[in-house]
Amino acid sequence: MESKARSQGTLKAEFPMRLQVYMAKCGVGSRRACEELISQGRVMINNRQVREMGTKVNADDVVQVDMETIELEDKLYYIALNKPRGYVCTNYDPKETKYARDLIDIKDNSLLFNVGRLDKDSTGLIIFTNDGDFANKMMHPRYQVEKEYIVKLDRAVEIEDLQRAIHGVYIDMPKPYKILRYDLMPQTRQYIRVTLIEGKNREIRKIFSYLGYEVKSLTRIRVGTVELDDLTPGEYRNLTREEIAGLLSGKGSSQAKSKKTVTIRGKEDGNRD
Give the pairing of strands 215-223 and 226-227: antiparallel
Using CA atoms, how far apart are residues 81 and 93, in angstroms rounded to an integer? 20
- Residue 119 falls in the annotated catalytic set: yes
Other Cβ atoms closer than 10 A to 175: 10
Q: CA dist 107 to 32, 73, 93, 104, Å?
A: 26, 13, 22, 9
Q: How far apart are CA 183 and CA 162, in angstroms?
A: 10
Nearest to 115 by CA among 102, 129, 101: 129
In whole angstroms, what is the distance from residue 77 CA to residue 73 CA? 10
Residue 127 and residue 217: Cα distance in Å, rounded?
Answer: 20
d(CA 186, CA 158): 15
202 Rama class: left (phi>0) / alpha (psi -120 to 50) / beta: left
Catalytic position from the list 60, 66, 105, 119: 119
- Length of the chain in terms of residues written: 273
Which residues are bridge partners to 128 per DSSP? Answer: 79, 114
Residues 6 or more apart in contact with residue 159 via CB below 8 angstroms: none
CA separation for the pair 104, 81 (Å, rounded) = 8
Q: Which sequence positions are flagged as catalytic?
A: 119
